[in-house]
Amino acid sequence: MGTIANIIVVAIAIDVTIPMLPQPTGFAMAMAQSLLGIFLLAFGSALYLTANLGPGPRDGLMTGIQKRTNYPIGWVRTGLEITVLIVGWQLGGVVGIGTLMMAFGVGPLVAVCLSVVDRFGGVAGGRSETNR
């Protein structure tokens, strides 16, 4: 249930909020906005993963690989992001500093945020599946 809800809610949230976001006027503001977005994504992932209602597609792949390999969740997420970055670039996508920040930063942040959220009992009052 959570996996399907994630797909729908995230798509709608992106479509609704992107037009409302301010366009940064300089490099410092663009960096700040990017860093905030990466942090919010990592923290949001930790919150909904600890609810144990089912991960979104990329997080499902992340948690599945982590369970099979027993590699740290941060490493797994970083590997997935770098893989997606390379595939996107090969298909003609643009790779900028924000892309690199996301690819190398979200994995460690998801790991830290999962640890913090788990420490407080998670959303559902229990530990996340990824940290058991």
In this prediction, residues 88-109 reach a mean pLDDT of 97
- Region of poorest pLDDT, from 12-16, 18-22, 51-55, 106-110: 51-55
Work out how many domains the chain is built from and give that number.
Answer: 1
The rounded distance, in Å, linking the Cα atoms of 121 and 107 is 21
- At 67-87, the pLDDT tens digits run 999 999 999 999 999 999 999
Stated pTM of the model:
0.83
Give dist(CA 132, CA 128) in Å, integer: 7
Domain that holds residue 115: 2-131
